[in-house]
Structure 1
């Protein structure tokens, strides 16, 4: 009982530190309601707990991964839902690739952190799928669950093993030919689960047949009496008070090429960073309208950043992590992307660090249940997806330092020696995540609105 109470306090304190709201004390926040939906949502929203457990030995990274040679630019929140398709170079890029898509927790760290978190997410993703069919969790990804099969525990372990094997193989390819770092995942076989998502992304890119209706820009903007403006969507966008709007326009204008045509506060975006303020800027040419004007415009996000979860847990690992929160995010993203976004910057405003970046027109990703639930071959589907994630993660990590192949050699060796230990620790921690989610639910029940 004492051990359970200690764990409950650990969970509550970790969440309170980042969110400024203790579970069960007062009305639940939007973020906490979302974390209540499933263990996977809980995992996404509690990266600080994952890293606290790593730092304190609750979760152990095998010793072979915990060496200076295994240090690189890491994603920080590396889970199966944080990979997807984007256009390289940002909104107006042309080449679409499958890559990591979230850098809010990015820093200089051990690559094994990313592999552990990705492996845990694959186990929890399979649990999510089984729980959906059993009625424990809900999903919006499917209108009809009839005929669907969920990935089993064995399927999940096979997917984790395939993911790690693909990571190691990519490291060996870089060792043999360092130019492999310049490659991307941009083609998939006809039966691969990612093929349809790639097709969807291509249709949403500039020049695609669904650009005006389905791209991030097309869904956000419309032509008004005075040109392009954000659509009126009260559950998604909120208009700013005049004084704040004037201040925001003045602060962010030097970072964008064209005029800020409109500006709104974005509501309900993300999970881990859900409660952090963010603004969307509609940027384009003055008086722009119609298809031609839309193709020249873009949505720019200005998002408040906080100290990354791994940096808080491991503050002395690398001096570069002492950079301001947004500055560090920009630094890491520019390292791990083959062709970094053309609009990617940072600033200080209103006493906080802000990340400024373009919102990719064609960004498309799969929800975990879309991979772990299928009518046939669900195990193979999950393995194929995991292999792509492992390859994409390895390529991103390999770009962290182009001077030698020391990192790739160390990681390939560590995986050869201690892969099984990492898999077993990830499986056990996935069980801990489910137990922690249940504990979180009991905490939230105390608010009377769980």
Structure 2
């Protein structure tokens, strides 16, 4: 009963109440449960339910993602919608803060194991999924364990390289060729970037904006968008116009999106040159997201690790994103509006994410593709962590000394925790059933 009470308390603490659409999503399977319950992950670390090697908690702190799992990596353009260099990297910084690197390592490793359970469940019909995925070969738990080992090995390799050549921490992952499992995703992202052959049809801009008109406007998408009142729109335009890089052409409220922050208020601004636009002008337009920011998931339990973490939630996210990325979004800021802190950032034209089905189902996945994905994420995460302190290699030196000594213990702890998440998902189901 203590466990079910903790789940109930932590979900209501962050989300306000139990029974939201977000919670029903989370009850569908343990992988989605993990994605939506980052606060429970840190409660479990604080309470030593998830026992991380003490030596790894004594390493120098760095900037961490906070909600590091396999779905929070993908393709995007450097400098946001202002750039054209497509890279593979972490793509979610909403829970970023100054913290322990082992938090990200253990959370990502847990997600690999839960991905295996999820994909097996989709293939076997235990979890709801697309009909075409029934019966597909799925990655095994044994393969997921191999993926954890490779993820950690690649992470260490990048840290070692940074010690020998500190400038190497400014490298990026941008070249994936066949048969790498990310090659197709990369081609898709390049095609959606400004100047790409699918920019006018498949980019983040094209999906929600009518680009056939001389004056682009958001599409009528009632499941995604809700119009603002005239007074709301005037207030929003007045407040945020100074932070934009061009004119605000249109505004809308974005309805629930994502899992971890599905209940956070957000708006989209269409920004670009005023007046009638030719096709050649459309790459100058982009979408800016304005999102109310809550405190990073680790900070309720680990509030005193660093003075930097006392920044307001939106400022902290922007600060950490700037450190972790080589060339962060050119439009990235925080604004106090109506008594709340909002994060302002450009949405990437070419953003392409990775779903567990993409890397955990099919012959390519079981024949090396899943392992390739884990390797790539290990490299990308290490680059982000190593950029936390660009003055020295203290972090990297400590990591390459200690992590090899404790990898086995870390993997054992993560394996036990993944099994607990399977049970937690069932406990959430029972909570929601009693609420109904």
Q: TM range, normalised to the smaller chain? A: over 0.9
Residue matched to 2:266: 278
Is the alpha carbon distance of 1:172 and 1:223 closer, same or farther for their aligned partners in structure 2, counting shifts above 3 Å? Answer: closer
SS of the residue 1:301 aligns to: strand
Q: CA deviation at 1:445?
A: 0.8
Residue matched to 1:350: 338
Residue matched to 1:105: 95
Q: Residues 300 and 356 of structure 1 are in contact (CA less than 8 Å); yes or no, is this contact kept in structure 2?
A: yes
User: Given the alignment of the two structures, is residue 330 of structure 1 paired with residue 309 of structure 2, yes or no?
Assistant: no
Q: CA deviation at 1:377?
A: 5.2
User: CA-to-partner distance for each residue in 1:280-333, whole Å, 9 max, x for gaps?
Assistant: 000011124342232110000000001111111101111100000000001100
2:170 to 182, 205, 208: 182
User: CA-to-partner distance for each residue in 1:327-356, whole Å, 9 max, x for gaps?
Assistant: 000110000100111000001101111000
Residue matched to 2:53: 62
Q: Residues 288 and 294 of structure 1 are in contact (CA less than 8 Å); yes or no, is this contact kept in structure 2?
A: no
**TM-score, length of structure 2 as denominator length:** 0.98
SS of the residue 1:167 aligns to: helix
Is the alpha carbon distance of 1:74 and 1:377 closer, same or farther for their aligned partners in structure 2, counting shifts above 3 Å? Answer: closer
User: Given the alignment of the two structures, is residue 287 of structure 1 paired with residue 278 of structure 2, yes or no?
Assistant: no
Residue matched to 2:356: 368
User: CA-to-partner distance for each residue in 1:49-77, whole Å, 9 max, x for gaps?
Assistant: 0001111111111112101x331000000
Q: CA deviation at 1:375?
A: 2.5
Q: Residues 81 and 346 of structure 2 are in contact (CA less than 8 Å); yes or no, is this contact kept in structure 1?
A: yes
SS of the residue 2:372 aligns to: helix
Residue matched to 2:328: 340
Q: Residues 302 and 357 of structure 1 are in contact (CA less than 8 Å); yes or no, is this contact kept in structure 2?
A: yes
User: Given the alignment of the two structures, is residue 19 of structure 1 paired with residue 54 of structure 2, yes or no?
Assistant: no
Is the alpha carbon distance of 1:131 and 1:398 closer, same or farther for their aligned partners in structure 2, counting shifts above 3 Å? Answer: same
Cα root mean square deviation, aligned:
1.3
**Cα distance between partner residues in 2 of 1:153 and 1:392:** 23
Q: How does 1:47-86 map to 2 (within 5 A)?
A: 47-67=38-58, 69-86=59-76
Q: How many residues align?
A: 436
Return structure 1 stretches of 4+ with deviation > 4 angstroms.
223-226
Q: Which structure 1 residue ranges, 5 or more long, are not aligned?
A: 23-27
Q: CA deviation at 1:99?
A: 0.4
Q: CA deviation at 1:199?
A: 0.3
Residue matched to 2:26: 35
2:398 to 394, 402, 410: 410
**Cα distance between partner residues in 2 of 1:63 and 1:230:** 51
**Cα distance between partner residues in 2 of 1:104 and 1:324:** 12
**Cα distance between partner residues in 1 of 2:152 and 2:367:** 16
SS of the residue 1:332 aligns to: helix
